[in-house]
Amino acid sequence: QVQLVESGGGLVQPGGSLSLSCAASGLFFSSSVMGWYRQAPRNQRELVATITSGGSANYADSVKGRFTISRDNVKNAVYLQMNNLNAEDTAVYYCRALTSGYIYWGQGTQVTVSS
């Protein structure tokens, strides 16, 4: 059974930083494409960043230069370092795994950027 468990969300002031973590189990993590997506109220879920098994990263234009995705194939974890946050980054952030043609989602973690 594949499980993705996010952590690290919370409330942060504009300009602040947060680091999200996603612990994965039940899948061949090292061969999976991992990603972070987000969904704000009344919006569709959107890509934030993805990282391949080899460590190649891809980012949404809105987060380039501010967010960094990384992975640890020993700990079966993927991370999202978010810097210089603004109100538009407020959303539920979801971890996603693409493995063997299947997509799995975590339960999400809330990130709120507000003064």
Burial of 98 (0-12, 13-18, 19+ CB in 10 A): middle
Confidence band, pLDDT 50/70/90 cuts, at residue 65: very high
Across residues 67-72, what is the average pLDDT?
Answer: 98
SS3 67: strand
Share of the chain above pLDDT 70, in %: 100
State mean pLDDT over 52-72. Answer: 97
Tell me: the pLDDT tens digits for 11-43?
999 999 999 999 999 999 999 999 999 999 999
What pLDDT score was predicted for residue 98?
96
What are the Cα distances from residue 32, in Å, to 11, 40, 77, 105?
Answer: 30, 26, 11, 13
